[in-house]
Chain A
Amino acid sequence: MTELSLNILDIAENSVRAGAKNIRIAVEEDTAADTLTITVEDDGCGMNEELLKSVQDPFTTTRTTRRVGLGIPLFQEAAQATGGYLTIQSEVGKGTRICAVFGLSHIDRMPLGDIASTIATLIQCNSDREWLYRYTVDGRSFTLDTREMREMLGGVPLNEPDIVCWIREFVTQNTKEIDGGNSV
């Protein structure tokens, strides 16, 4: 992976496969603490203790087409390379919360990259779930909530190509407003 938004796309797909109805993604920059915190939280099936212990091991996967799963190990490695860490909390039947903390100014921190495409892609390909995305820089933030979108759209589906393009534009423009064009 070359940018953190690709890790987010990958990790959030785990939530979809876990049968989550609601998925929350938060990206928060704190310049005083020099941290970039990425959280993916869902109400999917959760993991039992055994799977939870082994999930950071690349040779663990629930997939049946092959026997390695690199999503979480790659994300964890990216965080650790910046002096950060990754934590996973999960409970069977309740959901999973993955939180990765990065050293914001660390030279080895990958850029966040095209987060607008990640959010647009997730909603486009999983328009039957509810997504909440929040981007925060030092307390200033904006939110995209698919529940609010559905209210505005009446019966128009979220995965209509025109709507998907609007989502990308919405996240791109509002990200610029919040970070003043100093993208991380």
Chain B
Amino acid sequence: MISIEELKAMRDQMQSTLDMRNDNKQTRIVVGMATCGIAAGARPVLQALTEEVATRKLTDVMVTQTGCIGICRLEPIVEVFEGDVKTTYVKMTPEKARQVVASHIVNHQVVTEYTIGANE
């Protein structure tokens, strides 16, 4: 059995880095998680994004969810918010999601072929 006590050690490790962070993270990655998104495969996409952000230690990136975006046939949908700029990625998979983190978030190169503009 893993014990919840493990979190104490993680806290001690993380608090030093957390203290230096802004409350408002610079970049938000949002996954559509209504019934349509979930049925289309949003959960493994969110999981891949989270793992990628954790392993790359991207401390100013937040990964979270939203409801139905209204274009269910293009789910799973991932939106990247950087300040006022929004990029919408459609028909996502865990592999595409990892690529978006590497290319868009880390190297600031939008993966144009996965965007809604390239798919409509």
Show the binding face of A for B, using Cβ within 8 Å: 1, 6, 9-10, 13, 17, 63, 65-66, 69-71, 74, 114, 117-118, 120-121, 124-125, 142, 144, 148-149, 152-156, 159-166, 168-170, 173-174, 177
Contact = CB atoms under 8 A, between A and B. Distances in A.
A152 B5 contact: yes
Contact of A169 (B2, B35, B53): B2
B20 interface: no
Contacts of B50: 120, 124, 161, 164-165
Interface of B: 1-2, 4-8, 10-11, 14-15, 18, 33-35, 38-39, 43-44, 46-47, 50-51, 53-54, 62-65, 67-68, 70
A152 B2 contact: no
Contacts of A13: 33-34
A6 B39 CA distance: 7
Contact of B18 (A6, A156, A169): A156
B53 A154 contact: no
Given A149-B7, A173-B2, A120 B47 contact: yes
A145 B4 CA distance: 9
A118 to B, nearest CB: 7
B43 A142 contact: no
Nearest to B66: A125
A156 B1 contact: no
Contacts, number: 100
Classify the interface of chain A: helix, strand, loop or mixed: helix
Given A121-B47, A148-B4, A160-B18, 9 more contacts: A1-B38, A6-B39, A6-B43, A17-B67, A69-B35, A125-B65, A149-B4, A162-B10, A166-B10
20 contacts: A1-B39, A9-B33, A10-B38, A13-B34, A63-B67, A69-B35, A71-B35, A117-B47, A118-B43, A120-B50, A152-B8, A156-B10, A156-B14, A161-B53, A161-B54, A161-B63, A162-B10, A168-B47, A170-B6, A173-B2
Contact of A121 (B4, B46, B62): B46
B14 A65 contact: no
Contacts of B65: 121, 125
Contacts of A152: 4-5, 7-8, 11
Given A142-B1, A165-B51, A166-B6, A153 B11 contact: yes
